[in-house]
Structure 1
Amino acid sequence: MQKIEIINISKSFHKTNNESQESLILDDISFEIQPGSLVNILGPSGCGKTTLLNIIAGFLNPTKGEIRFDGEVINGPNPKRTVIFQEYGLFDWKTVLGNIEFGLKAKGLPKNKRKEIAHHYLDLVHLTGSENKYPNELSGGMKQRAAIARALAVEPEGLLMDEPFGALDSQTRNILQDEILEIWQTTGKTILSITHNVDEAVYLSDRIIVFSNPPAKIILDININLPRPRFPEIRLESKFKDIYDSVWQILRKEALKSKFSKTIR
């Protein structure tokens, strides 16, 4: 397990149709993610949450600052850090088994070893028996389970999740939240997740970080001191509701700022 260090990260993008002007999205963001922890980032839409995740994944370079993974500066993608996307990212022409084996084949593992590892993770995400199905034969929840299995199969140290349950109905979303907790407790992976869902963040996390409107700064960094293992009934407890309310009020305040600023422009 490895520590992730986000050090003075700023990110600007050129404004549309104006290469001489830049829009600052992330403004001097710094925090650390301890090995084996589960952290969620919340913030208003467009505040740069996914941008930061893409920088940590190595898909984007920061304008300023650096990110270290196990003490090494991130300069590009690496199988030590895998990403689970909201839109699943499965290959339509491959079976579930083929999708899970894809990264293992790229690593040069022999066929028998690939199958052994793939079946282990199929079992972990409760997809045993569906390995020969294609993505178009799966429900949204099953597709996301397959995407999680594929990400885990390459045995990353860090798992990055970009609103992984955003496209799912509430019932499936809640089931997969419990499965992510089970997987996290089983594997001990370091997980950083992006979400708009306050309930989900409180339920899953060791820690929640809240971004402001862009240019984003950290406006809340809170440890979630709820007992583990967690079960759905914890949502009924007063401490859960108190944490939820405190996070929600800060998010609501930021959302209202954004709405007001747009009306006076």
Structure 2
Amino acid sequence: MTALVDELVGAWRSGVPLDLAEKSVATPQTLDEAYVAQVEHLARRIAISGGAQTGYKLGATSTATMKALGFAEPFHGPILSAWTHASPATLRRGDFFVCAIELEVGFRIGADILDPQIDAAALRDSIAQVFPTLEVADSRFRQKQRPGPEAIVADLGNAGALVIGAPVANWRALDLEAMAVTLMADGEAVASGSGALVVDGPLGQLLRFARSRAAMGAPLKAGDIVSSGSCIPPWPAPVGPAPAGAGRLTLLGHLQGLGEVSLTLT
């Protein structure tokens, strides 16, 4: 899959998305092949951007998104320190192609999770922090023909950037599945949802992923971040500057009980 990775990295560096209808490049035929390509792609991006992988973003965690993207189950992509920002953050809209905004529950793991049969209670004891996150999901593929699941996984699982809010001390008292979630753009509500949009809820998705990683012999480690899937339908940020915002678009995510996370696009 080196040729595909070359094209994806080239698309990112040039700002011109990869058009699979025009480029004769092989894509993975299975998800196993796609994750091998993802590892190669990630290594290339780390070599360019610096930093290190600090965790995982989960995708297609809602029934609607799984259907729209063609997945039978959720997938994962990497979180990289160079793409992670503390809230409030400011990023350039022009650095992204699709720039789909998602609001998610973020977890920081406090102890290695080695048991593939870990239960929900033990999982809670393994969590060090819970915080709101705003993900900028992105794709290096031209979107006129939606890439298939294998291509999405190879393309870092649509990873773009992650903005992290402050951790909440009393997260155990919150019902993360019932939590109401709203995205504001320049003060206007543009998307809403709840933790229930995530199949089995944010903690349920973390449990599924933790068990899967342990069963693979690549367990979640203390310090890892997991962003557990969008609690709102992905909202594509406008390509051009907002007329009322003097070239700036301020996004504010409110996750009931978890607090707020903010990103300004310039």
> Which protein is bigger by CA-based radius of gyration?
1
Question: If the TM-score is normalised by the length of the shorter chain, which range does it land in?
Answer: under 0.3
Which structure has greater strand proportion? 2
TM-score (norm 2): 0.26
